[in-house]
């Protein structure tokens, strides 16, 4: 096995070096659901830009991804299909003008939509898209007046208490709802909604309590300016325009930019306005190629992939003085952010973080920042000119720690749980930005492994205490940004070990027993996206490279000598890395954007995590 490990490491290093771009970055596809492909077709037809060639490629990809049942899915083992994805793909195909409306494949999709509750059962974002195109009644959407945007931060709930992701989407959505905007062209299709699904949506007690608080706040400020309604609309517009990136996109997300374009049209911008033209160009720049054809990424992962690959290569023995590492470090240093973003409302530290996408300049996050810092650590140690960048990044990470001791994604202390009752699907995950075990574990792993901090440091101690409280009864941890319990457990275990928690610690021993208990008979590990929805571990019938690598790295850091579980797992990982994995194992999404609604197949993950795990095994056991 030793020879196979060394040979595989050598091959991965060679291949990754050859894939590096001239500017030092790596470009791998961030492959998400069909939503972005469908919405791009819809947007291009709505703006009447022509673009038949791009639309044709996107149409071709949608057909390739349709299941035999006539549906579209978020992940391979999703039973039957996903209602929202199927509505989006069907509407886009009809809108494309390249599909016969009577096509049997569309009829199958429509029967599925009809049989599963129709538009009312779709995700809120899907319903907003449909409403904009006259397919769904605005009265059924988000019963919150636009004045909500003006509630002061001192009020029990305000716009500023929401996560940055939620704010970014809510600003255009509230403008659209306020205007009851509908855009129809000569080719906008009509999708028939089943009369059986026309049931008025109800609100539960928690949602009604939140709506009542928002109403109270609006009444409290309503007596001040007479033009409050107009002011709120102007605030939404300015919020969006101030967060447009240099590529024209709004916060570097396809989804937020898509709705921004329609919101601007709703208030009178022309389709030919330079802001809209540039935004569309930015969205077209998010295209990548997959085995099923052209795909529009929701947020290209170039900075994230470059940081992780640079770090993985260094862990595999590539020195900081080698050309590939020097170029990657140079690229990452250029992407460090020195502007004050919204995160600064809650944190007093100076800017110094990193974002996820190449165009992202104001929206840094903790995970990308620790990834970039890992990649530049050795270079910073050897070059005084780089050290200030590392110091500022380190200070930024420490400054983002939440009051509870854990780490969030984008902004600290966005933790008001009442906002998880916001009347939008997915609000329980997207409305706030709480500490999560995966981000906390990864922050600790960086602080221990690269910054030399130990469990005695007050911030580290607080992080460990929070993590231990979050452990599930059976020994796992939930991962918010990866699938799911394997991901969270790997992050928590490697994080605590890096800061000096003993392998004999009861929490770590419990985690070890759990990881071994879910190992598959072939030696690997595989976990379904259903885990994320059921909030309990659901196994896959096959192993995936990234999940196998995560489980193994956690076990390796706990054991002084290889155990039967580790050796069996390593053989499975080597098989996966050397071509034994079937197509599904290599393409199954193991990243999460929005729990229950948005999963990601990172094309880079099959390279990064297995390489790191092989390097760990080799370094520790020879």
Active site amino acids: 367
Q: Taking the CA of residue 286 as centre, how many other CA atoms within 13 Å lie in the half-sphere pointing to its CB?
A: 33
Q: What's the angle, vertex CA 464, arms to CA 459 and CA 470, rounded to 5?
A: 130
Distances (CA, A) of 75 to 16, 85, 355, 379, 537: 27, 11, 26, 40, 16
SS (H, E, C) 27-91: CCCEECCCHHHHHHHHHHHHHCCCCHHHHHHHHHHHHHHCCCCCCCCCCCCCCCCCHHHHHHHHH
How, if at all, do strands 30-31 and 591-594 pair?
unpaired
What residues contact residue 521 under an 8 Å CB cut-off, 6+ apart? none
d(CA 292, CA 283): 19
- Nearest Cα to Cα of residue 443 among 313, 435, 582, 311: 435
* CA 482 to centroid of chain Cα atoms: 9
- Composition of the chain by helix, strand, coil, percent to 5: 55, 5, 40
- Helices 274-284 and 254-266, interaxial angle, to 10°? 160
d(CA 265, CA 48): 13
Q: CB 409: neighbour CB atoms within 10 A?
A: 22
């Amino acid at each position: 096995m030793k020879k196979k490990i060394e040979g595989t490491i050598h091959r991965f290093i060679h291949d990754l070096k050859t894939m590096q771009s001239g500017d030092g970055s790596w470009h791998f596809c961030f492959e998400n659901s069909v939503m972005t492909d469908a919405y791009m077709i819809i947007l291009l037809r709505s703006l009447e830009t022509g673009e038949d060639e791009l639309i044709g490629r996107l149409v071709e990809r949608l057909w390739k991804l349709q299941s035999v049942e006539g549906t579209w899915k978020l992940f391979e083992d999703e039973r039957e299909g996903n209602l929202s994805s199927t509505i989006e793909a069907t509407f886009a195909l009809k809108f494309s003008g390249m599909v016969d409306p009577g096509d049997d494949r569309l009829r199958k999709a429509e029967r599925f939509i009809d049989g599963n509750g129709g538009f009312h059962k779709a995700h809120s974002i899907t319903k907003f898209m449909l409403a904009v195109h006259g397919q769904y009644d605005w009265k059924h959407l988000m019963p919150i007046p636009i004045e909500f945007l003006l509630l002061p931060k001192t009020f029990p709930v305000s716009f500023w208490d929401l996560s940055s992701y939620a704010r970014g989407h809510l600003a255009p959505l509230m403008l659209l709802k306020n205007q009851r905007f509908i855009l129809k062209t000569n080719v906008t299709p009509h999708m028939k909604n089943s009369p059986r699904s026309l049931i008025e949506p109800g609100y539960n007690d928690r949602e009604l309590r939140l709506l009542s608080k928002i109403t109270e706040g609006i009444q409290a400020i309503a007596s001040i300016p007479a033009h409050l309604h107009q002011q709120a609309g102007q605030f939404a517009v300015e919020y969006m325009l101030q967060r447009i990136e240099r590529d024209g996109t709004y916060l570097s997300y396809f989804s937020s930019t898509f709705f921004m374009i329609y919101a601007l049209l709703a208030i009178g911008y022309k389709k030919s306005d330079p802001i809209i033209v540039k935004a569309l160009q930015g969205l077209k720049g998010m295209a990548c190629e997959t085995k099923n054809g052209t795909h529009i990424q929701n947020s290209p992962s170039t900075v994230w992939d470059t940081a992780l690959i640079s770090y993985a290569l260094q862990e595999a023995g590539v020195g900081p003085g080698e050309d590939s590492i020097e170029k990657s470090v140079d690229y990452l240093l250029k992407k460090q952010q020195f502007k004050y973003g919204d995160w600064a409302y809650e944190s007093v530290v100076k800017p110094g973080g990193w974002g996820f996408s190449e165009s992202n300049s104001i929206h840094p996050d903790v995970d990308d920042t620790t990834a970039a810092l890992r990649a530049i650590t050795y270079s910073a140690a050897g070059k005084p000119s780089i050290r200030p960048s590392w110091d500022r990044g380190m200070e930024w990470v420490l400054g983002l720690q939440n009051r509870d001791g854990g780490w969030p994604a984008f902004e600290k202390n966005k933790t008001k749980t009442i906002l998880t009752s916001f009347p939008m699907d997915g609000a329980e995950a997207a409305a706030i930005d709480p500490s999560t075990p995966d981000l906390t574990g990864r922050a600790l792993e960086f602080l221990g492994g690269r910054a030399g901090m130990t469990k005695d440091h007050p911030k580290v101690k607080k992080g460990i205490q929070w993590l231990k409280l979050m452990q599930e009864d059976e020994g796992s941890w939930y991962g918010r940004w990866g699938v799911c319990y394997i991901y969270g457990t790997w992050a928590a275990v490697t994080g605590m070990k890096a800061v000096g928690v003993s392998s004999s610690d009861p929490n770590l021993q419990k985690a070890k027993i759990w990881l071994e208990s879910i190992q598959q008979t072939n030696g690997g590990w595989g976990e379904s996206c259903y885990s994320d929805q059921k909030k309990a571990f659901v196994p896959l019938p096959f192993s995936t490279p990234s999940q196998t690598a995560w489980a193994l790295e956690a076990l390796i850091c706990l054991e002084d000598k290889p155990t039967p579980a580790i050796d069996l797992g390593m053989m499975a990982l080597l098989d996966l890395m050397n071509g034994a994995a079937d197509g599904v194992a290599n393409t199954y999404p193991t990243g999460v954007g929005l729990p229950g609604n948005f999963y990601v197949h990172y094309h880079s993950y099959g390279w990064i995590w297995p390489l790191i795990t092989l390097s760990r095994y080799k370094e520790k056991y020879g």
